[in-house]
């Protein structure tokens, strides 16, 4: 599966920060959330992006406004379908890996979409 090695690395990173995995590759028509975790009382929706090089920008720069809209829609669906409500504390993070999945530079931005 494309991106699974990068997601594995991102998940390992999040687990070291005290996250608990709730779901992986949560899909709805037209959208997907790579990782859904809980850190303390906050549900964290994480988009994982990996690029071998920076010729076309950083992995973090590849998260477009359209992708953000799809992530928000998928997150709302997750909250309602899995937890039965949409007013839970949550945030959106992005983990970018520049270089190889295993050895590339990992950058983690928290609460990026507000």
User: Domain locations in the chain?
Assistant: 4-109
| Listed residue (1, 9, 24, 113) closest to 60, CA to CA | 113
**DSSP class per residue in the chain:** -TTHHHHHHHHHHHHHTT-EEEEEEEEETTEEEEEEEEETTEEEEEEEEEES-STT--TGGG--HHHHHHHHHHHHHHHHHHHS-S-S-EEEEEEEEES-TTTSEEEEE-S---
4-109 CATH choice from 3.10.620.30, 3.30.70.260, 3.40.1350.10, 3.50.50.60 = 3.40.1350.10
**Encoded tokens for 77:** 């669906």
How much is the pLDDT for 1? Answer: 41
How much is the pLDDT for 80? Answer: 96
Read off the pTM. Answer: 0.93
pLDDT per residue of the chain (114 residues) written in tens, 0 to 9: 456 999 999 999 999 999 999 999 999 998 899 999 999 999 999 999 999 888 888 898 889 999 999 999 999 999 999 999 999 999 999 999 999 888 889 999 999 976
Burial (CB count <10 Å: 0-12, 13-18, 19+), residue 70: middle
How much is the pLDDT for 56? Answer: 82
């Amino acid at each position: 599966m494309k991106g699974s090695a990068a997601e594995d690395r991102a998940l390992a990173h999040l687990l070291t920060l005290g996250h608990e995995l709730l779901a992986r590759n949560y899909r709805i028509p037209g959208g997907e959330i790579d990782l859904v975790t809980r850190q303390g009382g906050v549900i964290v929706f994480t988009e994982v992006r990996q690029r071998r090089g920076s010729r076309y920008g950083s992995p973090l720069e590849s998260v477009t406004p359209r992708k953000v809209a799809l992530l928000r829609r998928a997150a709302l669906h997750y909250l309602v379908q899995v937890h039965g409500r949409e007013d839970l504390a949550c945030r959106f993070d992005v983990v970018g890996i520049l270089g190889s999945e295993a050895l590339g530079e990992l950058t983690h931005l928290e609460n990026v979409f507000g």
